[in-house]
Structure 1
Amino acid sequence: MLSEQLYYDPWDVEIDLDPYPIYRRLRDNAPLYHNERHDFWGVSRYADVEAALKDTNRLSSAKGDILEVVKTDPVMPPGVFINEDPPLHTIHRALVSRAFVPKKMRALEDKVRAFCETCLDPLTDRQSFDFVIDLGRELPMRTIGMLAGIPDSEQPSVRAEAHRVLRNEPGKPLSVDKDHYFDGDMFTEYVAWREKNPSDDLITELLNVEFEDETGKTRRLTKQELLIFLTVVAGAGVETTGRLFGWMGKVLAEHPDQRKELVNDHSLIPVAIEELLRFEPPGPHVARYVATEDVSFQDQTVPAGSALLMMLASANRDERQFEDPDRFDIHRRPGAHLTFGRGAHFCVGAPLARLEGRVALEEVLKRFPEWQVDLDNARRSRTSTVRGWDSMPAIVG
């Protein structure tokens, strides 16, 4: 069978360098793929991935949304809202989403721009800068820190922890501690301090908010729930958004004509960010657990109890959905990519990621309308869950 001649492994370093040819072969020849070595199933076509993302009844997030986590089935503490199913997920998500409503995003823009200026202004007289080290590593952490109320002094350790927990040994699955998968210990002292020193931030709001839980009881968040909330928000906001900036530098260097259009017309930048998210998504896949009954894709069955990988990056390049999908095009109609997911688990931080991407690109283009990337000295981020770069140096002019 053709499917037996194919091998896809999200931990394979060589495949990860350019997974798109294998994604195409999977879509054409094995749209439902079974990896016997690691015992997981995968869907790669847009329609199947979108359907799977929306199916919260049969495809559960309660065991995690990272393949290694789903297969380890760790003890999941309360409050990891990205790893919950409705109705509990709906309740917890509503609390966190308060920080990302449009009104707050509009109020945030000037502060995000100021952070960008702080990152970029010292670099304007230099002949080079790094899209990740100088911008991607700094801007998302400063923004999340300001939004959540994490003090500047604590932000480097939060960023380092977000990186650490998602790092796997190259070629091997992420190591998952079954008994201590998630904790919020890094925020314990700060939350205790914030209780006595309230401010206008997410932590203060979550300390005081009352809500009706899944039992119908009106209560406040427990300390453990709050600590986990902060860990989830900080980790997701720093690691995935930070990877977007490395791809921004690389892809636009490879498409100088389109970059010039953006320099001349900043109104094209929001659509360019959407196309960048489609073309090189920082989070290439998410996983689910087939919980209560078998599910079918392409007239084939995935048995209950299986781990299912949804290949977002493959779906974003599916020619059944997108015309000429391997072409980067800032004039492509936006809105159809699956980078932020679909349905109940659509990324709650999507408005913030879009805001940071747009503002950052505007500020970069003001200062550096032309650049070439130094791929010989660029460093890939070796993680199976977030695809991107630890360094993307650019030579300007």
Structure 2
Amino acid sequence: MSDVYYDPWDVGIDLDPYPVYRRLRDQSPVYYNDRHDFWGLSRWEDVDAVLRDPRTFSSAKGDILEVVKADPVMPPGVFINEDPPLHTIHRALVGRAFLPKQMKALEHKVRAFCAACLDPLADGADFDFVLDLGAELPMRTIGMLVGIPDADQPTVRAHAHRVLRNTPGEPLPVRKDHYFDGDLFKDYVAWRVNNPSDDLITELLHVEFADETGTTRRLTTGELLIFLAVIAGAGVETTGRLFGWMGKVLAEHPDQRTEITADRSLIPGAIEELLRYEPPGPHVARYVTENVDFHGQTIPTGSALLLMLASANRDERKFDDPDRFDIHRRAGSHLSFGRGAHFCLGSPLARLEGRIALDEVLNRFPHWDIDLGNARRSRTSTVRGWDSMPATVR
């Protein structure tokens, strides 16, 4: 019997969870935490298999551990917390905004947003990867894509940040009627009805689709408001944390940073490796719909199951020397964006923002050191990263 203990809310473990993850993979690949009553999987092969099986491992009760355990009633339209076929229908509607054609059209605008964040800092001796970039660029980009007015973007960002905050060391408090606050967009959607534009809100106001009953219709206002709340929240928090890790990890690997500065074709691979090495979303949860066996152990029906994506990304059974950051590593096998039906819809946008941000940072600040003494960790239930990552330019 292994004595390894893992708690996703433990502040000490969260500082560096990777030694605990290794012990879990080796000693307790099927882990049960009796204090908080959840199961966990930590090996790449097991996590990958669960992500590909939405029937046995349901998202309908949420994908955050605390939410799954609260057994909430989800409002219609929270497509990240739906199972096929409803998930398939709703995902296809929202997915229009993230097609390759749309991403290509966005590139110059994202670069302009990035320049607007960084240019005022170019003559200074320091800047902050999170406060100056991570807190600004993702919100500006998703705001433009969806159609959120500039004046309203700080409110949306603050809401997305606040709903994931938990008291350090404790689970996020979740009500039975857990919901996404679509009222943030109510007035703007009403205004857009008579003032159409080239944005996702306008498109979703007019699109017709066949729902799960076979009826051809348009989205209700309630469904549309929930769609927007889900997209805005997901697009702000996780991508924003990526920039903090970008500053820290590349400062710790200056030789590889120098390589990227000299050869910008290395940037896409560097972003993929960063996502594997320090994923902003370290885990997701599922509800187990029937008894299932892993490694001779049964996870019973009704269990809350935690999928440790960050552990799977460091599994030596899948990756050579997984604790080494290597921008030349073959990309594509990490699970940071999930897998299967719930593969992250916004992954093309996150990759685009990460790629452009790194390019623009290197254009202005090819050498920097991180001031970890003044960096601030972000204590959230589902997103691992930093509220501040100050850098000193050399």
CA shift digits 1:137-170 (9 cap, x unpaired)? 0000000000000000000000000000000010
Please report the TM-score for the alignment, with normalisation by the length of structure 1. Answer: 0.99
Aligned residue number for residue 346 of structure 1: 343
Aligned residue number for residue 43 of structure 1: 41
Q: Distance in 2 between matches of 1:217 and 1:140?
A: 36
Q: CA deviation at 1:183?
A: 2.8
Q: CA deviation at 1:384?
A: 2.1
TM alignment of 1:16-27, pairs within 5 A: 16-27=14-25
Specify which of 301, 312, 331 is matched with residue 315 of structure 1. Answer: 312
Aligned residue number for residue 289 of structure 1: 287
The count of corresponding residues between Structure 1 and Structure 2 is 394
2:363 is equivalent to residue 369 of structure 1: no
Q: CA deviation at 1:180?
A: 4.3
Aligned residue number for residue 391 of structure 1: 388
Q: Distance in 1 between matches of 2:72 and 2:190?
A: 28
Aligned residue number for residue 232 of structure 2: 234
Q: Distance in 1 between matches of 2:178 and 2:333?
A: 37
Q: Distance in 2 between matches of 1:353 and 1:390?
A: 18
Aligned residue number for residue 175 of structure 2: 177
Give the secondary-structure state (helix, strand or coil) at the position aligned to 2:271. Answer: helix
Aligned residue number for residue 321 of structure 2: 324
Please report the TM-score for the alignment, with normalisation by the length of structure 2. Answer: 0.99
Q: Distance in 1 between matches of 2:329 and 2:210?
A: 43
Q: CA deviation at 1:66?
A: 0.1
Aligned residue number for residue 356 of structure 1: 353
Q: Distance in 2 between matches of 1:374 and 1:191?
A: 42
Q: CA deviation at 1:178?
A: 1.4
Q: Distance in 2 between matches of 1:297 and 1:312?
A: 17
Q: Distance in 1 between matches of 2:233 and 2:282?
A: 17
Q: Distance in 2 between matches of 1:379 and 1:306?
A: 34
The aligned amino acid for 2:57 is L
Q: Distance in 2 between matches of 1:388 and 1:167?
A: 12
TM alignment of 1:213-232, pairs within 5 A: 213-232=211-230
User: For the Cα contact (< 8 Å) 2:180–2:230, is it kept in 1?
Assistant: no
Alignment identity in percent?
A: 78
2:268 is equivalent to residue 270 of structure 1: yes
Give the secondary-structure state (helix, strand or coil) at the position aligned to 1:145. Answer: helix
Q: CA deviation at 1:312?
A: 0.1
CA shift digits 1:102-124 (9 cap, x unpaired)? 01100100000000000000000
Worse-matched range after superposition: 29-38 or 178-187: 178-187
User: For the Cα contact (< 8 Å) 2:43–2:312, is it kept in 1?
Assistant: yes
TM alignment of 1:1-397, pairs within 5 A: 1-2=1-2, 5-291=3-289, 293-397=290-394
The aligned amino acid for 2:317 is R
Q: CA deviation at 1:257?
A: 0.1
Which segments of structure 1 move beyond 3 Å, counting only runs of 4 or more?
none
